[in-house]
Every structure is written in C-alpha cells, then in structure tokens.
A = this chain, B = another copy of it.
Amino acid sequence: MERILLGHGAGGKLMHNLIKEMFVKAFGNPALNRLDDGAVIRMSSGERIACSTDSYVVDPVFFRGGDIGRLSVCGTVNDLSMCGARPLFITLALIIEEGFPVSDLERISLSAAKTAAEAGVKVVTGDLKVVPKGKVDKIFTNTSGIGTVKKGVDVSGSNAGPGDSVILSGFMGDHEIAVLSGRAGFDLSVKIKSDCQPLNKIVQKILCLPEAVRCLRDPTRGGLATTLNEICVSSNAGMEIDEALVPVRSAVRSACGMLGFDPFYLANEGKFAAIVKEKYAGRILRIIRAEKEGRDAAVIGRVVNTHRGEVILRTRSGGRRILGMLAGEQLPRIC
C-alpha cells in the first residue's frame, strides 16, 4: 500500500491495521495500546484522568439535528464518557477556509457553547487557523477533553467476559442518514434527525453501579458492527447479537434499502453500547431507559466464549451470520 485511501479513515479494518502497524509501533505505551476511545492516566496526586481527541470533518456543516459545533462537543464528551470518565474540560481548535461566512462561524460557535453548557463542560482553551481557499473544505474542527475517573470504575474494550449482556442505548444510524440526507445529490425524502447528543449524564448514572459496567463504546465511524468487533478482539471474546432486538427506525431501514447500506455500519453520535455483567443487566437497562437519551435502549445480545474475536448475528429470518468489521469504506464518507 503506497497511498492513503479513504478507507484508512473509515473506522474499519484498514484503519485498525494502519493504527497498529504505524502509530502503536511509533508511540506505543500502555495507555495508547489499549486503543480505547481515550486514554486513562494516573496523575502524581493519585487521581485518574481520562483524555481524548477527535477531529470533525463533517459535510454538510449544518444538518438536521445538529452542526459541526454541536458534533465537536458531543464527540469528545462521549469519548470521555466511554472511558468511564466524567468530562470536565474541553479544548476547541478550528481550521477555517478563507472566505468562510462569519455568520456561519458564529452559529457554529454558539451551538458548541450551548452543547457544552448542556453537557456541563467548560471550553477552556482553543486554537484558530485560517488557510487559503481550497486548502480545507470550509471548516474542520478538533476537540480534546479531560475528565476524571471515579474510584472503582474500570471500563475498557478489553474487559468483556463470557455471559455479559450487550445493551444498545437506542436507534441505530440516525446520524449518518441525517447527514447524508442533507448533502447535495441525496434526495432521501426522509426526515431523520441526527442523534448527536452528550451522553455523559446517562453514563454517570450507570456508573453509580461501577462493578456492573465492563465496557462502554459509542458506535460512531464504522457503526455498531465495527464497535462490537473491536470489543471482541480487545477482550478475546465472542458475541451473539439478535438482529430482531436491535432498534432501527423504519425510516432509516428504508433509506438503507434505497442506498444499499447496512444499518449496522452507519455512524451514530448519541448512542452507546454497554457491556454489563448479566446479573445487573435489568437494573442498568432500567436506569438507561429512564433517561430521554436512552428511552429506546434494549439488551441486544451477549458475550460468549466461543468464536472469539467474532460477532455472530442471529438474523430476523432465523439464520446465523458473521457480522464483520467494516472492511473498506462505507460510501459516501460522512466523518
């Protein structure tokens, strides 16, 4: 492979291989090597803090249910939450194309501020770059974040164990379909809103039972299929998912039908998968469903000790198939 392909950024196999072969090799250290959504590090005071980073390149910048400002805050708030952390502070860096409308920048900035207030995090520092026309597509952002991890919390993609229950916090694919339907050339005639929302409050609630929660992951790029596969690989475990239990809106299902997409590979920005100990599954599910961000949550499957590293889908028609990691890219790219 001599050139970087779009697929290297799609969140699937190509990306995982590149990260392992190039970045883990160059930078390897215990925090990085876990390849979770962020890193948990212990400070000299003994306090554990989590940090994460994410760039946002969404097109269009404004879409039904959100915009790049809201997305940038939610993305990092959620990555920190998936480390079991309470997000506190975030940074915001903008790379803007010369000629970008000031009014759009203001709209994005106010939307980010509103989302930060909603999530209860502070934007404490930032950076602003402007590049000549044609050197960047309108505006790209980066947010990084810092949170604290409470004593007793140990959440990682490598913690899943046989018998654990797999909970999904709501409908799959809303974000990707909302973004695509806002893009020129896609007349989907569906009115799906992005699910883009901060998940920190709901996650803090389930972490009141720290012994119950093994792993949290938000299925963004690469979709739920890729997320579950990552967990299976990191934990050296298998997984069985029951397709009939996985919440998908009928409008998303029909958009997928038209476009030839599989909802399991669609990006989400306000959903999470939780791997929890079986005996706590009912309690955790009730906690999640009590919040508006999680009212459509469901137990969708379980962790098993067979076919390690693989996710098996029990299909609606009663069959069984391997639900693989996203192999190349799901076109068109949205993040």
Residues of A within 8 A of B (CB): 1-10, 15, 18-19, 22-23, 26-27, 29, 31-32, 36, 38-39, 41, 43-47, 49, 51-55, 57, 88-89, 91-103, 105-106, 109-110, 112-113, 116, 122-132, 134-137, 140, 142, 144, 146, 148, 333, 335
Chain B residues in 8 Å Cβ range of A91: 39, 51-53, 144
CA of A38 to CA of B125, assembled, Å: 6
CA of A54 to CA of B92, assembled, Å: 9
Task: Name A50's closest neighbour in chain B (CB-CB).
Answer: B125
CA of A134 to CA of B47, assembled, Å: 44
Q: What are some 16 contacts across the A-B interface (CB < 8 A)?
A: A1-B102, A2-B103, A9-B129, A18-B128, A19-B126, A22-B105, A41-B124, A43-B49, A45-B47, A51-B125, A52-B91, A53-B125, A55-B94, A134-B137, A135-B137, A136-B136
Of the candidates B27, B89, B100, B140, the one whose C-beta lies within 8 Å of that of A136 is B140
DSSP majority for the A interface?
mixed
CA of A23 to CA of B69, assembled, Å: 12
Q: Within the complex, what minimum Cβ distance (angstroms) separates A92 from chain B?
A: 7
Task: Name A46's closest neighbour in chain B (CB-CB).
Answer: B45
* Inter-subunit contact B31/A122 (CB<8 Å): yes
A128 touching B19 in the complex, CB below 8 Å, given contacts A9-B96, A91-B51: yes
CA of A42 to CA of B97, assembled, Å: 35
CA of A148 to CA of B45, assembled, Å: 10
A26 touching B135 in the complex, CB below 8 Å, given contacts A32-B125, A89-B51: no
CA of A122 to CA of B27, assembled, Å: 8
Of the candidates B10, B32, B43, B54, the one whose C-beta lies within 8 Å of that of A123 is B32
Task: Name A138's closest neighbour in chain B (CB-CB).
Answer: B135
CA of A148 to CA of B136, assembled, Å: 34
Of the candidates B7, B106, B116, B132, the one whose C-beta lies within 8 Å of that of A333 is B132
Of the candidates B4, B57, B94, the one whose C-beta lies within 8 Å of that of A102 is B4
Given contacts A4-B96, A93-B142, A127-B142, 10 further A-B contacts (CB under 8 A): A4-B100, A9-B129, A22-B109, A23-B92, A31-B125, A44-B148, A45-B45, A55-B142, A135-B136, A136-B140
